[in-house]
Amino acid sequence: MSLPYMNTVLLNQMIVIISQSFNECFSNDEQAIIGAFLTTLGDMLSLNSAYISYLQDQNSLSKQNQNDYDLLEKSIEKIKEEINKMKSNVQK
């Protein structure tokens, strides 16, 4: 999934315009409610993002560990083969 490009200057200008329109259209209490809602929404998005990142890291770590175990197992098998070859050469 590719992330969308967000121009930070444009994003800041959009936030200023929206917040200014809220200042003119809503009372102090209504602004507080809208702000609390948007803060909660942002916190939930942030939490979800962190959780997904954690799961992806765990999955990649698990795959890496399995690859390491497979490589170690193959290495041990090769060492056993070499030891058996050396034993057979000594016995001759």
* pLDDT tens-digit readout, 15-33: 899 888 888 899 999 999 9
Percent of the chain's residues with pLDDT above 70: 96
The answer to whether residue 47 sits within a structural domain is: yes
- pTM for the whole structure: 0.52
The answer to whether residue 88 sits within a structural domain is: no
Domain that holds residue 12: 8-66
The answer to whether residue 80 sits within a structural domain is: no
Confidence of residue 1 (pLDDT cuts 50, 70, 90): low
Reduced DSSP (H G I as helix, E B as strand, rest coil) percent helix, strand, coil of the chain, to 5: 90, 0, 10
How many CA within 13 A on the CB side of residue 23? 6
CA atoms of 84 and 92, how far apart (whole Å): 13
Domain count, the chain: 1
